[in-house]
Homo-oligomer: A and B are copies of this chain.
Amino acid sequence: MSLDAVLSRLDADLPQATERLLGLLRIPSISTDPAYAADCRRAAEWLAEDLRSLGIEADLRDTPGHPMVVGHVPGEGRHLLFYGHYDVQPVDPLDLWHRDPFDPEVQDAPHGQVIRGRGAADDKGQLMTFIEACRAWKAVHGSLPGPITFFFEGEEESGSPSLVPFLEENRDELAAADLALICDTGLFAPGVPAICTQLRGMLQEEVTITGPDRDLHSGAYGGPAINPIRVLTRILAGLHDAEGRVTVPGFYDGVPELPETLRRQWEALGFDAEGFLGDVGLSVPAGETDRSALEQIWSRPTAEVNGIWGGYTGAGFKTVLPSQAHAKISFRLVGTQDPLAIRKAFRAMVEDALPADCTASFVGHGASPASQMAIGDPAFEAARRALSDEWPHEAAYVGGGGSIPIAGYFKSILEIDSLLIGFGKDDDQIHSPNEKYDMESFHRGMRSWARILDALT
């Protein structure tokens, strides 16, 4: 009965909730680019202020990077910790956006309304679903249902450099929680909610190959002078073998075979690989040749070049033989693959492949192992039932191809388990131009959290 009142309140308040989200989306909190540092802080302040408007004691916590937002609701019973991130991805290539990424709006789309703008789905829209559920709960009941810690990060899209030190320094404060709720994942399929039970880890490396000590004219030097682009392309081309396996020595140490029960469970999900690839103009799974598309995403590690550059890249042509060539490479990790061991092996592999006269230098970005959730905890099944009540289809336990290292850190540093629940869709174009979040995701998302709060407290 009281849950119904909260749900009704959420329905009635949806226009105001949408306006609030648009306000947050207008702040260009791109964490990876130092030019947006003040905007990141502004987004953090916006959130702390919004929590305070719910009577929650909340403040910013400075870090060497962007601030954390921490808020506490006291109370008795199961203590929940809710996590989301307020930072967003860069917006390039800007010319592919149909609209200013930071001038969001609600648009009509073939399958219903969408909220369009950078961060709509990743992760501002998602984190607001929980805040809105709390707002409605408070409006109906006068207080929240039990002790809740709010914890918002501003560096998730840039490798979370401050996260581990912050968790370690504030362990006593944050480890008071019993269970974490992390809202940064998606539905399994339209109308099918999901709890993510395993996530890939990630290792991010940036490599620079240097040949000649200056840019040269390819007429005067082409032939005898080594071209670092040629060296880099040869090294990167060798990252995969003919079967699509990653060639870094020792890379597959700790990669488990999929347990038969999980394989059967995943097969029962009826994943539409053809539709999944077809949505982005593709038709053939390009990963390891002996693995299904779903395995390639959820349970197999990868190596991807996320960026490459060197020489002249402007309009026209310039016959330069450049001094340097660069690449950003990420590895998605599974099982117990050790990111630091792989970093070492990758760097050694690059060094070993260098010809005379070339040197390599490296910058390590993020490094986090894969995560496996504690699905034995009855909270998982309670949350799954709550989700199933809200959505047209039964909720599923799924894997995830992305990397949300926070779950691993909550386990290893705070010793609390995490429930990964989110409402994004495959076509949300997160990290891409024209990112959007379905109004259905936003609306059913906040209703889902109300049901989960009801079930878990």
Contacts and interface: CB of A to CB of B under 8 A. Distances in A.
A240 B230 CA distance: 9
B431 A280 contact: no
A234 interface: yes
Interface in A399-450: 400-403, 426, 429-433
A311 B273 CA distance: 24
Nearest to A32: B316
Contacts of A311: 305-308, 328
Interface in A213-270: 213-227, 229-230, 232-234, 236-240
A32 B317 CA distance: 7
Contacts of A219: 200, 202, 332, 400-403
Contact of A313 (B281, B308, B357, B433): B308
A92 B318 CA distance: 10
Interface string A185-207: 00000000000000010101010
A312 interface: yes
A322 B308 CA distance: 11
A166 interface: no
Interface in A165-190: none
B332 A297 contact: no
30 contacts: A32-B314, A32-B318, A34-B315, A89-B318, A93-B215, A211-B282, A215-B432, A217-B402, A218-B302, A219-B332, A219-B401, A220-B430, A221-B280, A222-B332, A223-B286, A224-B297, A225-B280, A226-B286, A227-B304, A232-B233, A233-B305, A234-B237, A284-B357, A286-B356, A306-B317, A307-B312, A308-B311, A308-B313, A309-B310, A319-B403
B356 A284 contact: yes
Interface in A21-64: 31-34
Given A219-B403, A223-B302, A282-B357, 11 more contacts: A31-B316, A32-B316, A90-B314, A92-B314, A96-B215, A217-B431, A223-B300, A225-B282, A304-B319, A306-B311, A309-B313
Of A157, A223, A403, the most chain B CB neighbours within 10 A belong to A223
Contacts of A288: 223
Given A212-B281, A234-B237, A224 B286 contact: yes
A451 interface: no
Contacts of A212: 280-282
Contacts of A218: 302, 304, 306, 330, 332
A328 B326 CA distance: 15
A113 interface: no
Nearest to A280: B212
Contacts of A239: 230
Given A309-B309, A429-B214, A432-B215, A159 B280 contact: no
Contact of A401 (B223, B284, B432): B223
A280 B218 CA distance: 13
A277 interface: yes
A315 B30 CA distance: 11
Contacts of A236: 229-230, 233, 237
Of A300, A357, A430, the most chain B CB neighbours within 10 A belong to A357
B357 A283 contact: yes
Interface in A329-355: 330, 332, 355
Contacts of A317: 32, 158-159, 204, 206, 306, 328, 330, 365-366
A287 interface: yes
A89 B51 CA distance: 56
Contacts of A306: 218, 311-312, 317-322
B280 A216 contact: yes
A311 to B, nearest CB: 4
A397 interface: no
Nearest to A284: B356
A332 to B, nearest CB: 5
Nearest to A200: B219
